[in-house]
A and B are shown apart, each in its own frame.
Chain A
Amino acid sequence: MTTSNSLAWIIAVPFFAAAVLPMVRRLGKAWVLPTALIGSGAALIFALYAAAIVVGSGEPVRHELGGWEPPWGIELRMDHLSAVMTVLIASLSFLVLVFGRGGMEKRLEGRSHFYYSMYMLFTVGLFGMVLTHDLFNLYVFLEVSSLAGYSLIAVGERASPFAAFRYLILGTLGALLFLLGLGYLYAITGTLNFIDVAERLAPLGDSRAALVALALMLTGFGIKAALFPLHAWLPDSYAYASNLTVAFMAAVGTKVGAYGIFRVLFTIYETGNLQFHMPVVQIMGILAAIAILAGSILAMAQSDLKRMLAYSSVSQIGYVLLGFSMLNANGIMGGVLHIVNHAFMKCCLFLVVGAMMAQVGHRDIRRLSGMGRKMPWVMAAFSLAAISMIGLPPTAGFFSKWYLILGAVDAGSWIFVAVILVSSLLNAAYFFRVLERVYLKREDPAEAALETAVATTSATPVSGSSALAVQPEEALEVREEEAPRPWLGPGTLPATMLAPIGITAISLLALGLGSAWLVENVLRFIVPGGL
């Protein structure tokens, strides 16, 4: 097993960038974004380096923080799953930052350094969560990423602080439930290191405390991952937050919750003991199946494109957890593969929404007619991501669903096979609804008239009741925020916006074609022994 302190650098570099960003701002506005990009880019390089060692040697890389040997000290360890997650987080964090060049600065007018500082902290929290091998450290990094995430969500439209507060309440509940479950595990094992806990937990397989701890931890991470009945925070947060935040958070934020569930289920609890804990895992599987269907159905009912994608996230996280709940190799590999694929798909889709809002200033599905002619390349990326979401070969989405179906067949649960197939149809229904508007409908004069009508009504203060209650100058500010205007002329999308969209879209094809390599060299090692 190799030791490498690049693991510590992955966390330290963006953390340092977060700390110096407010200071760098003193040198001038031009320094802010480069600092963030350097922090994120260096983390990406370290992540790729460490991941290359893991994949090359087939063994985990580890680092003992401060030279303290585990179980006394905190251990960072990158195994194959952590390698996948770290590279995913690092690359998407970098791409989304590139995309946001300029837009955020225009919006926050000289205060964007705080935004980027929080963005870096959010990244640090996610890196920490996927690299640490210590339960309490996992909780701390979970809170670091969550706190930064709440403040990121609060930057956006008028209602975004309210959405952020609701997320804060639910998210903290999730983190605290995890902390309580961790307390149970500590009480019965007396240790916090993953591997140490797993060893001591194995003979305690049928203890009721272990069962309660499992239920608490899964519920806690379930809230973070927005598993179906616990998803209430997600649609509002995604709909009101700024596009930059959502593109990154939708891609990896909820996935890290799913990662936590994976760790709890397969690293901490021995797979043999899971037979005893079956009811808890089965409940999770059923909830995931309901999530897949309910998320898709709710997505069909939305007219706001961002809200539709948010509900589709609820349904997609269901696939991942459904895969884990099958407790067999194909299901688990399909779940992890879907984490990666869905991260790229959702990132691409939300980046397209961001580009669209920059150009036409709205995101109403009913007013998308003719967009295919206005923004051909961006819409091509959108279609590719949509096709991948539906799961047509050779895009990435097909392969993860394939493994999930194989897993469901292995587990002998035909209902799950049906759920996956039906939900693909539902996905097709709500994405074709958008694509039909974009490509097949001409922009007819009646609709253009409606568009101007909508534009004028949204320009006047709508919410009379409370807008009147606040101070006049604040009311003015609110109105400004409420009608998002395009800030770029037609056909002038800068290369820094087009490139990330293009890269995420092309990587969907690359992930699809390279999925055999990924399964053979990486995902195979993720499946815990005995399954």
Chain B
Amino acid sequence: MLHDILGWYNYWLIAVLILVGIYGMMAKRNLLKKLMGMNILQVSIILFFLTLSPKEEGSMPVFDAELASTAAGYANPLPQALMLTAIVVGVATTGLALALLVRVHRTFGTLEEDDIMEDLR
């Protein structure tokens, strides 16, 4: 039982972060808080990928014949490369979302979803 938690602590942490992120996106009524929830979810998924990459006794993925001669001796570089792209996507999404929020605030004078819905009705 203890081993299940401690041995996989990174996955547990990520699971908690994912749930926090989704909770923020779905349950919060303030648009900026929704955006924060989205960012938390993004980071948690990036962490999930990164946690796939290291190996026991594995060194950093730069080939050096003295360190190891097989792939097993190096961390997997691919998830890191993928997540570099995912981070860029995340930055673009956040930037666009903030720009939209500026427009929303200018139009409605508030970022509370309930107030905006009231206004639209």
List the interface of chain A (C-beta within 8 A of B): 136, 139-140, 143, 147, 150-151, 154, 158-159, 161-162, 164-165, 168-169, 172-173, 176, 179-180, 183, 186-187, 463, 465-466, 469-470, 474, 478
In the complex, A470 Cα to B103 Cα: how many Å? 12
B93 within 8 A of A: yes
Selected contact of B101 from candidates A165, A173, A176, CB within 8 Å: A165
Which residues in chain B, 30-65, are within 8 Å of chain A measured between CB atoms?
A: 31, 34-35, 38, 41-42, 45, 48-49, 52
Whether B107 lies near A159 (C-beta < 8 A) is: yes
In the complex, A465 Cα to B107 Cα: how many Å? 12
Whether A183 lies near B119 (C-beta < 8 A) is: no
Residue of B nearest to A164 (CB): B100
Q: Cβ of A179: which chain B residues have Cβ within 8 Å of it?
A: 45, 86
Q: Cβ of A154: which chain B residues have Cβ within 8 Å of it?
A: 100, 103
Whether B106 lies near A474 (C-beta < 8 A) is: yes
Whether A168 lies near B97 (C-beta < 8 A) is: yes
In the complex, A81 Cα to B49 Cα: how many Å? 30
In the complex, A205 Cα to B66 Cα: how many Å? 40
Whether B34 lies near A169 (C-beta < 8 A) is: yes
Whether A161 lies near B107 (C-beta < 8 A) is: yes
Given that A147-B96, A168-B96, A470-B107 are known contacts, is A173 also in contact with B41, CB under 8 Å in the complex?
yes
B69 within 8 A of A: no
Question: Chain B binding site: helix, strand, loop or mixed by DSSP?
Answer: helix
Q: Cβ of A162: which chain B residues have Cβ within 8 Å of it?
A: 100, 104, 107-108, 116, 120
Which residues in chain B, 46-92, are within 8 Å of chain A measured between CB atoms?
A: 48-49, 52, 79, 82, 85-86, 89, 92
Whether A187 lies near B107 (C-beta < 8 A) is: no
Q: Cβ of B119: which chain A residues have Cβ within 8 Å of it?
A: 463, 465-466
Whether A143 lies near B93 (C-beta < 8 A) is: yes
Give min CB distance, B83 to chain A, whole Å: 10
Whether B52 lies near A187 (C-beta < 8 A) is: yes
B20 within 8 A of A: no
Give min CB distance, A296 to chain B, whole Å: 24
B4 within 8 A of A: no
Selected contact of B82 from candidates A136, A164, A187, CB within 8 Å: A136
Give min CB distance, B17 to chain A, whole Å: 12
Whether A183 lies near B45 (C-beta < 8 A) is: yes
Q: Cβ of B45: which chain A residues have Cβ within 8 Å of it?
A: 176, 179-180, 183
Q: Which of B97, B106, B107, B110 has the most CB of A within 10 A?
A: B107
Give min CB distance, A257 to chain B, whole Å: 18
Q: Cβ of B52: which chain A residues have Cβ within 8 Å of it?
A: 183, 186-187
In the complex, A465 Cα to B18 Cα: how many Å? 37
Q: Cβ of A176: which chain B residues have Cβ within 8 Å of it?
A: 41-42, 45
List 18 additional contacts besides A136-B82, A463-B119; criterion CB under 8 Å.
Answer: A139-B86, A147-B93, A150-B96, A151-B96, A161-B100, A161-B107, A165-B31, A165-B104, A173-B22, A180-B18, A183-B45, A183-B49, A186-B49, A465-B118, A466-B108, A466-B109, A466-B119, A474-B106
Whether B100 lies near A172 (C-beta < 8 A) is: no
Q: Which of A154, A169, A474 has the most CB of B within 10 A?
A: A169
Sample (30) of A-B pairs whose CB atoms are under 8 Å apart: A139-B86, A140-B85, A143-B89, A147-B93, A147-B96, A150-B96, A154-B100, A159-B107, A162-B104, A162-B107, A162-B108, A162-B116, A164-B100, A165-B97, A165-B100, A165-B101, A168-B93, A168-B100, A169-B35, A172-B38, A173-B38, A176-B42, A176-B45, A179-B86, A183-B45, A186-B79, A463-B120, A466-B119, A470-B107, A470-B109
Give min CB distance, A528 to chain B, whole Å: 27
Given that A150-B100, A474-B106 are known contacts, is A159 also in contact with B120, CB under 8 Å in the complex?
yes
Q: Cβ of B86: which chain A residues have Cβ within 8 Å of it?
A: 139, 179
Please tell me the size bucket of the interface on B. 35 or more
Selected contact of B48 from candidates A168, A183, A469, CB within 8 Å: A183
Give min CB distance, B121 to chain A, whole Å: 9
Give min CB distance, B119 to chain A, whole Å: 5
Q: Cβ of B107: which chain A residues have Cβ within 8 Å of it?
A: 158-159, 161-162, 470, 474, 478
Residue of A nearest to B101 (CB): A165
In the complex, A165 Cα to B85 Cα: how many Å? 22
Q: Cβ of B100: which chain A residues have Cβ within 8 Å of it?
A: 150, 154, 161-162, 164-165, 168
In the complex, A162 Cα to B120 Cα: how many Å? 10
In the complex, A143 Cα to B93 Cα: how many Å? 9
Give min CB distance, A239 to chain B, whole Å: 10
In the complex, A186 Cα to B79 Cα: how many Å? 9
Whether B103 lies near A161 (C-beta < 8 A) is: yes
Whether A470 lies near B120 (C-beta < 8 A) is: no
In the complex, A439 Cα to B7 Cα: how many Å? 71
In the complex, A179 Cα to B14 Cα: how many Å? 14
Q: Cβ of A465: which chain B residues have Cβ within 8 Å of it?
A: 118-119
Q: Cβ of A150: which chain B residues have Cβ within 8 Å of it?
A: 96, 100
Q: Cβ of A187: which chain B residues have Cβ within 8 Å of it?
A: 52
Give min CB distance, B92 to chain A, whole Å: 6
In the complex, A161 Cα to B93 Cα: how many Å? 14
Give min CB distance, A217 to chain B, whole Å: 13
Whether B106 lies near A147 (C-beta < 8 A) is: no
Selected contact of B109 from candidates A143, A164, A469, CB within 8 Å: A469
In the complex, A186 Cα to B96 Cα: how many Å? 29
Q: Cβ of B85: which chain A residues have Cβ within 8 Å of it?
A: 136, 140
Q: Cβ of B25: which chain A residues have Cβ within 8 Å of it?
A: 169, 173
Q: Cβ of B34: which chain A residues have Cβ within 8 Å of it?
A: 169
Whether A470 lies near B106 (C-beta < 8 A) is: yes
Give min CB distance, B111 to chain A, whole Å: 10
Q: Which of B31, B49, B101 has the most CB of A within 10 A?
A: B49
Residue of A nearest to B117 (CB): A162
Q: Cβ of B116: which chain A residues have Cβ within 8 Å of it?
A: 159, 162
Q: Considering the complex of A and B, which 9 residue pairs feature the smallest CB-CB distances, nearest first?
A: A161-B103, A469-B109, A165-B100, A143-B89, A466-B119, A161-B100, A161-B104, A466-B109, A162-B104
